[in-house]
Homo-oligomer: A and B are copies of this chain.
Amino acid sequence: MRDFTHDLSALALNTASLGHNVSGAGAGWSPERTLDACARRGIGGIVFWRREVAGRGADIARCAREVGVHVAGLCRSPFLVGPMAPVGKQAVIDDFRSALDLAAEIGAPVLTIVTGGVQPGTKGVEDSLKLVAGYLEEIVPYADACGVKLALEPLNPAYGGDRSCLTTTRDALDICDMVEAPGLGVAIDVYHVWWDTDLRYQIQRAGQRIFGYHLCDWLAQTSDILLDRGMMGDGVVALKPIRAAVEAAGYNGFCEVEIFSANNWWKRSPEDVLDIMVERFRTVC
């Protein structure tokens, strides 16, 4: 298992942890200012959201190179299915391609996929998962051409209705098995999968198909399943055992900290949030 005590090169900030630069105390922080704050601390990577960098991909990629912070990924694909997806298959594919173009432009090696929920007019998750697999078969060649890998991220079953019909690492790998493309893998976000006693087995099964590892914590008495994520160490996730499993499977990429926290972390000074994130990364992850 890697030792992070004195090495932050594998730590990546997902800008959502500072309120996406659009809300909370981090409002107004430009991508450049965020990159600089990461660089000053020795944080190795950063993951932006599309809306933060759209139209400025090449500039921001250059800035990242200059300050020595790797662009570790881009958030995210459109929802493919469910009530919040763009209407119509072509609209989904077009937006997906646009996300891949931006990922390529900014130098992100991975695009995260959030599937969206249950397709209107259907019940249960099975039909929607099949639709997702079909969309991915269609998009994979374009992603390959962009040089961008696709990381399917299962979300907590609490999001099953609207945000993600994909709720387990098992289902994500089943889709990977169906699509069979070297550029398609999974992202393991501890917030979404920490409760799953099948996780260790599925991580082993995933092997080299783990394209992302996301950190935060699940607060024991969470007040909101969308915007009350905890800082690593403040919740009930067995962080080190999960990372040990992920690394035993062969993963040696970034650990991406993604904390949606409207009433706590987003209200604090971004400089403090980054300092605490670094401290926790060194000690409890």
Contacts and interface: CB of A to CB of B under 8 A. Distances in A.
A106 B120 CA distance: 43
Nearest to A161: B220
B197 A170 contact: yes
B157 A124 contact: no
Interface stretch (A1-9, A145-153, A235-243): A235-243
Given A123-B238, A225-B225, A236-B118, A170 B198 contact: yes
Contacts of A161: 218-222, 235-236
Given A118-B236, A220-B117, A237-B123, A160 B195 contact: yes
Contact of A237 (B83, B124, B165): B124
Interface string A239-269: 1010000000000000000000000000000
Contacts of A83: 220-221
Interface in A183-234: 194-198, 218-222, 225
A138 to B, nearest CB: 22
A225 B123 contact: no
Contacts of A162: 220-222
Nearest to A217: B123
A175 to B, nearest CB: 11
A171 to B, nearest CB: 6
A77 interface: no
Contacts of A160: 194-195, 218, 236
Interface string A119-163: 010111110010000000000000000000000000011101110
Contacts of A122: 236
A168 interface: yes
B220 A158 contact: no
A17 interface: no
A124 B220 contact: no
A218 B125 CA distance: 12
A225 B220 CA distance: 15
Q: 6 tightest CB-CB pairs across the interface, nearest first?
A: A124-B238, A158-B158, A160-B195, A123-B238, A161-B220, A118-B236
Interface of A: 82-83, 117-118, 120, 122-126, 129, 156-158, 160-162, 165, 167-168, 170-171, 174, 194-198, 218-222, 225, 235-239, 241
